[in-house]
Each structure stands twice: as structure tokens, then as C-alpha cells.
Chain A
Amino acid sequence: MGDMKSGESCCGNENDSSAHNSENYEVLLPMAPSAGDECGGSSLGESSGIYDLPGYKLWHFVEDFIDTAAGIVPRVKTSIDREDQYGTLKARSGFNRMRYSITPGLYCVGSPDKDSPVMVSANYKLSFDALRKELNGINTWVLVIDTRGINVWCAAGEGTFSTDEVINRVKLTGLEKVVNNRELILPQLSATGVNAKKVKKGCGFKVVWGPIRAMDIKRFLDAGKKAESEMRLVTFSFFERVVLIPIEFSMAIKPLMWILLTVFILSGIGSDIFSISDSWTRGLLMASAVISAVFAGAVAAPALLPWIPGKAFSVKGAITGLIPGICLVLFNFKSIMFLEMAAIVLVITILSSYLAMNFTGATPFTSPTGVEAEMKKAIPLQAAGIIIAVIAWVGANFLTI
């Protein structure tokens, strides 16, 4: 989550198109090939849609466009289809580092009028999807601001979901011509980056803090734009943690190649100077330790977080690492010596501890001051442990005759 790099701005295409009127588009049918000619295709495929414009690609979630005093506004569907799910999967997988964003500007759902509410969203496609899928049956405007394709909370922390961006986007879209009310519903988590008073001063719109989770938006509106206290508190449920694992995992396996290479080289060093067979057999054993550590620290620790004893993540990670470490030692008890056992347990415990500590960057409850305090204590210990493990592992191979 914290690793998402912001890209360059992509403001304003939607606003430029306000000069076009949807009624003016013509339906252009491709010329049908006459029977038996060389073009061959049996089906014609779909013709260009009435909202297509050269140079633009229409998002599948746009239903049509409505006319407003500030130009045409896309009306979006509240359903999530296969294309959305595929995009979500790709964004969540962690291997796709591309920005997944939509163009900032004014959108709408249902048939909003001048008195309909205005909700503000980040232009991260997943944030936008999370909101629109909860808006079924609601007539509302959705002001998408430019957060460089980053989710609400990260963007608010990084300063792209900001007071200035909200004010600018209100002005750019001509929102005051579209609605009579002067209220913006902002996700509560954007309060980190948005000063409500300054927004009011800057564009005349009063900020109403909406619920944290989009799924509560209906209840919030029904209650007269009031959020119950439980809607105001963040959660970090099993599901919320599990969806973050692929990214943690992919970040952990990137340096893995180098670590494994080092493992195989170190494993071969011994009284014969370098033994290929040792490099392979001992290397495999240590490699399995390293790989278990990735699972312990980047998968098990995030998933089981509240149930693992300890408060510091490095402690939690050490605990999830200790278990496979001991298992691996017991499994190879007869074939390895004490020093090697110690090295294996140390490596798994420390790597897992380190990876779990990295997960603090993705949680919604760890304070930066706390993370700093934890790292100050844990990193020297982890470094010392790894050095001891290397000495034990290599040293053991000098003792065998």
C-alpha cells in the first residue's frame, strides 16, 4: 500500500469535452462486406457506439451521458462486471505496478438533480468501484479528484487527497453550476489531508465527513448524513488483511533470487574450500528455510496478526517463523549437526521477523513513531542474528571431516 508510486497528473480530459453534446454523435456502421468476398469474416463484430470519440476510450462502466449546466457528465453503472473484477485482481496481485486510475472530474449515478448530494472519491479505480457499487438506487453526483491513482487514505497521507485538490476540482468541474446545495460528502479517512474549514473558504462548499467504508454510505444517507460511531472506526479484519498479502508476498520474493544465490554459494564453502555437492544438498536445506520464512513473515503473520502473541510486529514475525524453523530442524534431525540447526532456526525466525515488520507500512493502526521505535530495537538484533547464523552455517561445514 505504501509502496505505490505516484505518477504524473492526468487532469481534466473530461472537462474539455464539455463542449460536445451527446445528441450530436452519429452512429457510424462499418460497411458490410458483400457475400463471398475475401474479407472472410462471418460476424461483423460490434459497431462503434454512439458515445465513442476519436482519441478517447469509453470505460465500460459508463452507461450514458447526461446534460448539465457545466457540460455533459458520464452516468456510471453501479454493477461490478467481469472487467472490473479482472482489473481488481490485477491491481491486487502486486505484480502489476501500473497505476489503476480513472480520469478525475464529475460523474453521476442514477438521475441526480440540482439538490442531489455530491460525494467525493479518489481516482483510484478500486476506490471508485467500492463507492459506485454501493450507490444502487441512489441519485448522486460523484466528484472524482486527482489522487494520482492512489486510494483515499494513502493519498491523504501523501498529500494528493488534499484541501487544494478538492477546491481545484470543484472549480474545474463548475460544480456550483450543477448543484444548488453547497455540501461535499468526503470519506472520513481523507481528513488526514483535507482541512474542512479551508475547503469551505476556498470554494464555498461545506465538508460533511462521510463514513470510512463505502458500504455504509446508504445507512449514512438514510440517517440524515450522520455516521454511527462504529462507521467512524477503522477495522482491519481477516479479509482486509488477506487482500494485502499478495503485495507483501511479491515484494518479499523480489530479492529472493539474490538471497538464494548467496545461500547456495555459502553452503558450498567448507574444509574442501568449495564443494559442489555441499552447495547443492546443504543449499537446498537452507533455501527451504528461506522460503518457509517468506511464508511465515509475509503470509502467516499478516493473516493471523491479532492471534499471534506480542505487540511489536517483529516479535509476531519471529513467532510465526519459529514454528516452521523447529519443524524443519526436527525433520532433518539425524542428518545435521547442532550448529546447522541453530543457523536454520535463526534464519527463519529473523527473516520472518523482518518481513512481518515491513507489514507495519500497510496497516491502519501502527503509528510511525511506534514503527520507528520498533525498528531501532529490532534491526540491530536481526542483523546480529543473521551474522551469527552465517558463521554457524559456514563454520559447521569446516567441522565435518
Chain B
Amino acid sequence: MKDLRYLPDVSTIKLNTEACIGCGTCELVCPHGVFQIADKKAGIVDSDGCMECGACAMNCPVEAISVSPGVG
């Protein structure tokens, strides 16, 4: 969503790169293109695009992602 952006620097999305196994699930399920896989590791490329829906954290097989909607 390029034309509609909400407040910057508020999302609570966090990624534990060490734990990540690069499976690509987060990149697949995120509806805002927040993740990108490079060199077999996920990276957060657009944290301000995150709406904290939790789809990535719900489906990460190694629980490398955390997001806590509403605890600002």
C-alpha cells in the first residue's frame, strides 16, 4: 500500500534473525510486503507498512517473529 501509510515508527513487529530458517512463509502471508528473504534469511524491509495483523508470527515455524498489537 504505497498511497496509504499510517503513523511511522509505531509497529511492534520484531524479527529474531538468528532463529530464522529462511522458509519464506512470512514473506508469503504478509499482506503488506513487510518481509523479504535474502541470503536464506528474512529481513524486515518496511516495518512502517506493518498493520500488526499477526499472520507472520502465527505461521513462522520457528517462532522467530513477535508482534504485540495494542501495546504501544
Contacts and interface: CB of A to CB of B under 8 A. Distances in A.
A234 B32 contact: yes
Contacts of A212: 31
B70 A372 contact: yes
A376 B72 CA distance: 10
A305 interface: yes
A305 B7 CA distance: 14
Interface residues of B, number: 33
B29 A311 contact: no
A366 B49 CA distance: 9
A188 B72 CA distance: 27
Given A192-B53, A235-B1, A369 B59 contact: no
A209 B29 contact: yes
Interface string B7-34: 1101110000000000001001111110
Contacts of B51: 364-367
Contacts of B8: 311
Interface stretch (A107-115, A194-202, A329-337): A194-202
A194 to B, nearest CB: 7
Interface string A338-375: 00000000000000000000001001111111101110
Contacts of A193: 58
B3 A312 contact: no
A259 interface: no
Nearest to A374: B7
A369 B52 contact: yes
A365 B32 CA distance: 8
A363 B1 CA distance: 12
Interface of A: 153, 156-157, 188-189, 191-197, 209, 212, 229, 232-236, 305-306, 311-312, 360, 363-370, 372-374, 376
Interface of B: 1, 3-8, 10-12, 25, 28-33, 49-56, 58-59, 61, 68-72
